[in-house]
Amino acid sequence: MFKLTRMAKAAISLAATAAAAGALLFGASTAAQAAVQPKIVGGTTTTASAYPYGMQITDASQNQFCGGTLVSATKVVTAAHCMVGETTSSVRVVGGRTYLNGTNGTVSRVSKIWINPSYTDATNGNDVAVLTLSTSMSYTTPPYVASTDTAVYATGATARILGWGTTSESGSSSNQLRTATVPIVSNTSCASSYGSDFVASDMVCAGYTSGGVDTCQGDSGGPLLIGGVLAGITSWGEGCAEAGYPGVYTRLTTFSSLVTTQINS
Ligand code: ARG
């Protein structure tokens, strides 16, 4: 479920489309579904000017499949699970583009993909990768956490999420960039949701107990910001925005020195 390649994910969204068509055949009301599936899930539209470090990670034809965060003119932080099966020729990074179907902004090829060598599967942790861009991006970058900044993940702290992912669990991607805020969830609470899949050293959870607001498919790799500081990477979750199942993000403090080494390399 969480180690899907881009092609497998495309297959899943086809299955989801078929399932949605099935629901229609059985008389489910799309209006009622829209009412319970607020539009990231539960967020609002925003722009690349408001979040200039928000990058689209796309295939060679500029079809977005993950997000990323510009941390220097030529370095982008994303999720390792986004880069599985990818090569420097299969990936592009697009900056300064609010809409998936836009043509503006800066498109860069990637000259190096660093995947955390300890990565195996998002539910085992280590879900971080750093891309080196061939073309510099002149967009503002956010500060990112130092390894000693562990206090940022205080339970209840407000975290901002960002992406073009699906606006409901089985829905389609958002053409316009979206954002929302979610509270940080304690490790104890997240462990009771996810059991041994939650690796506290490598992950941090965020979301409301009642669900409703979350990242979803296609948001992976994008930022989780706390107080404007890059503190997490969208990684995984059970469904999206479900009550009792918060989103799970890479705990960047744990990987701060590894990532710093890559950024300065
Ligand atoms: N794995 C997903 C992706 O590749 C992100 C899922 C986030 N899920 C959640 N419930 N927060 O886009």
Q: What is the mean pLDDT of the chain?
A: 89
| Amino acid type, 149 | D
8 Å CB contact between 230 and 142? yes
pLDDT tens sequence across 202-216? 999 999 999 999 999
Round to the nearest angstrom and report the end-to-end CA distance of the chain: 33
Domains plus CATH for the chain?
44-264 (2.40.10.10)
- How many A from CA of 1 to the centre of ligand 1? 10
User: What digits encode the pLDDT tens for the residues 6-46?
Assistant: 434 333 333 333 333 333 333 333 333 333 333 499 999 99
The arithmetic mean of pLDDT across residues 80-94, rounded, is 98
- Contact 220 CB / ligand 1 (< 6 Å): yes
| Residue 68 beta carbon below 6 angstroms from any ligand 1 atom | no
How do residues 157-189 score in pLDDT, each as one tens digit?
A: 999 999 999 999 999 999 999 999 999 999 999
What are the tens digits of pLDDT across the range 215-248?
999 999 999 999 999 999 999 999 999 999 999 9
* pTM reported for the whole predicted model: 0.87
Compute the distance between CA of residue 223 and CA of residue 203 in angstroms, rounded to an integer. Answer: 13
The structure tokens listed for 252 are: 């960047």
Q: How far apart are CA 168 and CA 114, in angstroms?
A: 31
Average pLDDT (130-156) is 97
Q: Which atom of ligand 1 is least distant from the CA of 247?
A: 11
